[in-house]
Each structure stands twice: as C-alpha cells, then as structure tokens.
Amino acid sequence: MFKIYNSLGKKMADFRPANKDVVTLFTCGPSVYQRAHIGNFRTFLFEDVLVRYLEYSGYRVRRGLNFTDIEDKAIVESEKRHLSVAQITDENIKVFLGEMKLLGMKIPDYLPKASDHVAEAVEIIERLLAKGIAYWHGRNVYFDPLRSPGFGKIYGLDMTKWPRKKRRFHKDTYPGIQWNRGDFILWHGYKERDKIFWETKIGKGRPSWNIQDASMVGSQFHETLSIYCGGIDNLYRHHDYSRAILESIRPYPMALYWLHCHHLYVQGKKMSKSKGNILYTETLMEKGYSAKEVRFFLIYNHYRSRLDYREERMEAAAGKLRDLRQRVRRISHWAGPAEAGAGRTSREIVKAFQEKMDADLDVRAACDGLYTAVSGIIPAQLGKEEAAGIVQTLRGIDSVLKVIF
C-alpha cells in the first residue's frame, strides 16, 4: 500500500484515489514573470516522480499544471523591461517546457494559463458574491475567510484567533512566510492607466492570483482531485485560499491529499537575486554535469526534507549516479537476447525499491537500496536470462527515476 503524508490532517495516510479509474492530480506551476530556477524544478521533479511512480504502480494518471502569467510581479517586470507581459511570460513558458524535456519530465496533460481563464474566474466571483462570501470594496472584490467553514485546515490555522476587525489585503502576493490575517483580494478593479485588464460582466479589471488556480482547476476537473501538489511556501496564503474558493461553490472536497515539497537552499541560504545565488539548469551543466545528473541531485532526497545545494554534494550525487550507470552497463553486457525472467535478484530489487517508494516516496532510500543491490551483483556470475531479467527490472524502475539508461 502506497502511503503518503497528507498536509490536510498532518499525518501519513494510505493512498486511495478519489476515482478508481484515474488518479487526477494538479500541481501549482510556475509564476512565469521570470525563469524557473533549480529550486523551482526541485518541486516539479518531485511531482514528476510522483506521477511516474503512480503509473509504475498501475494507476492511470491525468495531471494538470498551471502557468501564472497575470499578476502584480509580471506587470512590474513588464514595465521594468519595456516589454509586454505576454512577451515575457510566453518566452518563459517556452523555456520552462524545454527544460522539462531536458530533465526527463513528463509533460502534463493539461497546461492552462491564467490569462485564458479570466471568464471562469469572473463566474466564480459572481457566485461568491451571490453567497455573501465575497464582497465589493471600491472597485475590488475580496473574500471573507470568516464566511468559509473549514478555512485554514490545510495549514492548520486556529481560526478562533482570526481577528474580527475587518482588514483587507490587496496585493497578489506578499513576501515572507506568514499569514495575512484578513480578507484577500479576488478581483483587481480597473484603475486609470492600468495596462492589463479585461472587459467582463463585473466590469473592467483582472483576476487576482488567489482565484486563478481555482478558475483553472474548476474548468477542467469536475470532481474531487486525488492529489494537489506544490512547494511548502504554498501552505501560506495560497492553497487554503484555493480550497476555500472552490469548496464554497462546489458540494465536494477540492482534493483528498495535499502534498508539499520543501525548499532547495544554496549553501544554507534561500536563492534570491539580491544574494546572487540563483542557479539554473545550465549553470550546473556548464560545470560539466549532465541533465540526468542534475535530475538525480534534485530528486535524491526525501521531498519533505530541505535540500541544500553545495558543490561537494552535487559532485557526490553525480559520482554515485555515474558509478551506478557503469555497473548497470556491465550487467547489460552480459545479458543475452533471451527473454527476461523474473529471477530472485530481480524480485529482491523490486521489493527493496517499492518498499521505500511506498513509504511516502522516499526516493533517497529507494536509490540507496538500488545502488547497494546493483553493487552486490557480479556480472560474470550471471546467466544470460538472469542478466536480462535484471536489466528489464531496472528499466522498469528507471521509468520512474529516468536517470539510469
């Protein structure tokens, strides 16, 4: 039984999909006002391994990943660079998809952009206004969490401490890891000289970041999602917002399981432009690492543990992968064209891999077990069928890891 840690409830749980025929999974995609760095890709790679392991385990998966292409930050970047928002975001989406392929990631089935779902956002806002959960203040629309039963359950907020005094937060995002204890914005009403806005049924303006995920999920998935994923920062001021919005207008849960990946740091510090420590995929490849080695470093850890990039750790991970691949090549050399048989060694490798992956996707422990098992094999002592069986088993496992072959 596959067990995962559910942020909603803060406990390990047996995985039982909402729909037995297909696992529906949605992941918070990048804010494309800037390029995705390797810290972002750590989260997206964890999600890629999750999808691949579900498929390896026999599930059919339907996945969505969104692009946030309209928000305050994108508008600021547009003005700073004297380019349109679309020019910036479309280029960053193109680069992002190219890097997904480079890192061996599956392209999701559904890749919505927020700018294509303004009508859906407006429809949700109209329904929230009708219910009295959202309200107009000037030209803007705000959501009142106190009118939403169960608000804050993913994070674990104590709503008895939520202030009753009316406070409104009008920005799309705020820096830092803390809560804005007040009403959050759903709709930015048009202001004079605004360059980004839509003419809609509720007037001129644009949807806030807070409602965009709900508009994109709601337009494509019409039942409870099995899994919703994102980075650990989404536990603050985001996923609880999305959940509250959708569950206020639909009579069923937004998702059964909420999974969150921890941050990647660089030598103990968060990546930021001000620190000058942002790393991109090509930064590591220019140092001589292959795309598979970059992928391996970013997945070779438990997703709920903080990962710290240091040169010596990157080199150690790359060296371990090179050694593993070399050992697998030696086994492949001994494998004949004979049909592969599931020998004892193959069964032991599968068991060791699945036990660790079933324990909340512990990729590091699974890879360490795989490395130990392969290191103990003496190729010259293998028969052709046994060697072929081991190679076939490893190919199956590598359909999840995508680093060996």
Q: What is the mean pLDDT of the chain?
A: 96
pLDDT at 336: 75
Query: Helix or strand or coil: residue 50?
Result: helix
Copy the structure tokens of residue 234. 């989404």
Indicate the residue type of 278: I
Q: Name all domains of the chain by residue range, CATH numbers in brackets.
A: 3-261 (3.40.50.620), 269-401 (1.10.730.10)
Query: Helix or strand or coil: residue 289?
Result: coil
pLDDT at 342: 65
The strand order across the sheet containing 307-309 reads 269-270, 264-266, 307-309
> 342 and 393 in contact (C-beta within 8 Å)?
yes
Q: Token match 């921890």: residue?
A: 262
pLDDT confidence band for 397 (50 / 70 / 90)? very high
pLDDT digits (tens, 9 = 90+) for 370-392: 999 999 999 999 888 899 999 99
Indicate the residue type of 401: L
pLDDT at 343: 84
CA–CA–CA angle 249, 219, 23 (5° rounding): 95
3-state secondary structure 56-80: HCCCCEEEEECEECCCHHHHHHHHH
pLDDT confidence band for 340 (50 / 70 / 90)? low
pLDDT at 341: 58
Nearest to 386 by CA among 329, 346, 353: 346
> 317 and 294 in contact (C-beta within 8 Å)?
no
| pTM reported for the whole predicted model | 0.96
pLDDT digits (tens, 9 = 90+) for 100-119: 999 999 999 999 999 999 99
Copy the structure tokens of residue 382. 């293998």
Indicate the residue type of 112: P
pLDDT digits (tens, 9 = 90+) for 292-319: 999 999 999 999 999 999 999 999 999 9
How much is the average pLDDT of 180-196?
A: 96
| Main-chain phi, psi angles of 237, to 5 degrees | 55, 30
CB neighbour list of residue 45: distance below 8 Å, 6 or more residues apart: 103, 105, 295, 298, 299
Query: Helix or strand or coil: residue 328?
Result: helix
